[in-house]
Chains A and B, each alone.
Chain A
Amino acid sequence: MNDMARLQKQRLALYGWMLVAPALALMSLFAFYPAIATLWHSLFTRGTTRRPSVFAGIENYNDLFADPTFWIVVWNNLIYAGITIPVSIIFALAMALWANAHIPARSFVRSAYFTPTILPMIAAANLWLFFYTPDLGVIDQITGFFGASPTNWLGQPETALASVIMVTIWKEAGFFMIFYLAALQTIPPDLREAARIEGAGRWTYTRRVLLPLLMPTTIFVFVNAMINSVKLIDHLFILTKGGPNNASKLILYWIWEMAFAYFDSPHAAAMTILVLLTLGLVAVIQFRLVEKRTHYR
């Protein structure tokens, strides 16, 4: 081979490595190493000064599966994800469609929808804490107007999780709307006119043209929403602290509790590994299944 050509190839390869190097270094330090360390840590018993930590195999995992709280928390999180993901996506899409239409005060509508996203989750939770206050809060004021008796939304097991879900949807839908709004603006208006001439009504157009073209955005939003359903727990600290009686406890909150309230880091590590595995698995399935049926431009 030509020496010059080989040299150029080598140089390109070197450039490539130089470009990934910073990200690779940071990722290794703050993501890959901690993940492996966590896995390692989850295989040992909790060490105290009198009983040093020893290798325990999958003991910690067995403990978790035997713990009834584990099943409650997993179930809670499934419900939490199962409701927040689809509902916030549907809201986001509906809001985007509306905010993209030619309506008066369009920019006001857009910024109004986006406001919850700008607020820190802690602030939002405090706001909602006030809304949920029995008797005095906005919600009870409204229901009270129709004659309902005051409800302790956050304080009773039946409504605690639902109340937390509500806050999450309120917080997330506006954020996802931005992605849909951006995607909608890339769809040429010609397509709608062509569909109109071909006899497609609003619903047919949405179903057969708009939604398929928004599919890449939907996948992106879906993956984000899924990660958030595990990741986003800030409001639990303010609203319910996982209570009452674990009714609104989510996986990450439970992990935090184990690790930093009960100082049981091996079990927390084991739980973390389970979460990582599940998320990874779901992501793979998602991309395999949905990718094939998605049109990327």
Chain B
Amino acid sequence: MTAQTPFIQIKSVSRVFNGGNGVHDLSIDIPRGSFVVLLGPSGCGKSTTLRLIAGLETADQGMIAIDGKDVTNVPPSKRGLSMVFQSYALFPHLSVAENIIFGLKVRKTSKDEIKTRLTEALNVTGLQGYEERKPAELSGGQRQRVALARAIVAGHPLCLMDEPLSNLDAKLRHSVRKDIRDLQQRLGITVVYVTHDQTEAMSMADIVILMKDGRIEQAGHPADLYLKPATAFAAGFVGSPPMALMPASALPREVVPAGLDVSRLTFGIRPEDLALTTDTTTKAWGITATVNGSEFLGAETFISVAIPGTEGATARLPGRVHIAPGTQVSLSWAGAAAHWFDGEDGRRLAPTTSRQSAREPNTSIETDTAIPSL
């Protein structure tokens, strides 16, 4: 991603609010035409980063460039970008059409061009026939599309989105996710998208930038974040249900790779990498755990287990599995599926005797076959 000059360049930018929140010494390069998701828990600085790019906040320090131009102190309207707000920020007194062409009118675009662009934006977002409605007369999904139409009508190469799906219901969210992604690819625009929902990030992004406390925790392709989380935080944040994290001291000794200090080591395992058996006698090794609940989701079942000395874990088993709460089970996994992190700073540790090939997609298949499941 550094082959050509990045479309957006953020260089050691800081913006600190009273109370310490904000972003600290942030540097991001965003390539042209990519879909970048800023992901993180609330207060991690992702929205601040977006607002810094938009120009709604001014950087205390550092430099921001868009398309090769330094825009650090340029007002939002001169940065050539559009934005979709969480609340959509539609003007309630204006009709759908007036809302969409608000910016074009402000910029004194010619009448003919406004008309063509409006028609195009309405077509792209499927809002034909709603031109004269007021936002209050639209459903949540339609309002969201009006906000999208307003963002794309000007033809800016950059579109910023601040949690645009958080006000939609779950089903709609799924379809709009796909629509936004399709739209971005069709128009070839760069999108910077803020969300706290890791599913959105994983399913939409070319690049996920995971943030925490105003700093970047990990940036990369969704698969990188999932398969090779750089920190224990990233491991726990990405993936649903989240990766189980536990002190290595709770594990049998032989599982821990040589060369890692057990006293300050965190072990992580994805739910799908956990194999679980009620037969506690035959296996050579495994951790004993107690089942404390199960969630049947149709294609799979989540079994949550309690492991003494840890916060517990979740195993993801295909199909319908019924295990009564209270059952003693034995947990095991393929060695390659294990993640190891420094117990203090959370850094990912690569064991010297590594058999890990985490980037290969067949890791989980190995796991499934290695140990007999229920």
Q: Which residues of A contact B54 (CB under 8 A)?
A: 193, 197
Q: Which residues of A contact B56 (CB under 8 A)?
A: 193, 196-197
Q: Which residues of B contact A208 (CB under 8 A)?
A: 91, 102, 106
A200 adjacent to chain B (CB < 8 Å): yes
Q: Would you list which residues of chain A between 169 and 219 have a CB under 8 Å from chain B?
A: 188, 190-191, 193-200, 204, 208-209, 212-213, 215
Given A190-B85, A193-B85, A295-B134, residue A200 in contact with residue B106 (CB < 8 A): yes
Least Cβ–Cβ distance between A220 and chain B, in angstroms: 16
CB <8 Å contact, B89 and A188 = yes
Q: Would you list which residues of chain B between 44 and 83 have a CB under 8 Å from chain A?
A: 54-56, 75-77, 81-83
Majority secondary structure of chain A interface residues (helix, strand, loop or mixed): helix
The answer for the CA separation of A212 and B91 in the assembled complex, in Å, is: 10
Q: Which residues of A contact B55 (CB under 8 A)?
A: 197
B103 adjacent to chain A (CB < 8 Å): yes
CB <8 Å contact, B106 and A191 = no
Interface residues on A, range: 10 to 19
The answer for the CA separation of A199 and B56 in the assembled complex, in Å, is: 12
Q: How many residues from B make CB contacts under 8 Å with A?
A: 24
B326 adjacent to chain A (CB < 8 Å): no
Q: Would you list which residues of chain A between 26 and 85 have a CB under 8 Å from chain B?
A: none
A297 adjacent to chain B (CB < 8 Å): yes
The answer for the CA separation of A188 and B90 in the assembled complex, in Å, is: 10
Least Cβ–Cβ distance between A255 and chain B, in angstroms: 41
Interface code B93-107, partner A: CB below 8 Å = 1, 0 otherwise? Answer: 100000000110011
- Residue among A190, A193, A199 with max Cβ neighbours from chain B (10 Å): A199
Q: Which residues of A contact B136 (CB under 8 A)?
A: 297
Given A196-B75, A199-B103, residue A295 in contact with residue B92 (CB < 8 A): yes
B87 adjacent to chain A (CB < 8 Å): yes
CB <8 Å contact, A199 and B89 = no
Q: Which residues of A contact B76 (CB under 8 A)?
A: 193, 196-197
Can you name the residue of chain A whose Cβ is closest to the Cβ of B147?
A: A194
Can you name the residue of chain B whose Cβ is closest to the Cβ of A194?
A: B89
CB <8 Å contact, B77 and A197 = yes
* Contact pick for A212, options B77, B87, B93, B106, CB 8 Å: B93
The answer for the CA separation of A188 and B87 in the assembled complex, in Å, is: 9
Given A213-B92, A295-B134, A297-B92, residue A198 in contact with residue B87 (CB < 8 A): no
Least Cβ–Cβ distance between B190 and chain A, in angstroms: 16
The answer for the CA separation of A251 and B122 in the assembled complex, in Å, is: 57
Interface code B295-323, partner A: CB below 8 Å = 1, 0 otherwise? Answer: 00000000000000000000000000000
Q: Which residues of A contact B102 (CB under 8 A)?
A: 195, 198, 200, 208
Can you name the residue of chain A whose Cβ is closest to the Cβ of B81?
A: A197
Least Cβ–Cβ distance between A229 and chain B, in angstroms: 28
Q: Which residues of A contact B154 (CB under 8 A)?
A: 198
Q: Which residues of A contact B150 (CB under 8 A)?
A: 198
Given A188-B87, A190-B85, A190-B87, residue A198 in contact with residue B93 (CB < 8 A): no
Can you name the residue of chain B whose Cβ is closest to the Cβ of A198?
A: B103
CB <8 Å contact, A197 and B83 = yes
A-B contact pairs, 19 of them (CB 8 A): A190-B85, A190-B87, A193-B54, A193-B76, A193-B85, A195-B91, A195-B106, A196-B75, A197-B76, A197-B77, A197-B82, A198-B103, A198-B106, A198-B154, A199-B77, A199-B103, A200-B102, A213-B92, A295-B93
The 6 tightest CB contacts between A and B, nearest first, are: A198-B103, A295-B93, A199-B77, A190-B89, A194-B89, A212-B93
The chain A residues found within 8 Å of chain B, CB to CB, are 188, 190-191, 193-200, 204, 208-209, 212-213, 215, 295, 297
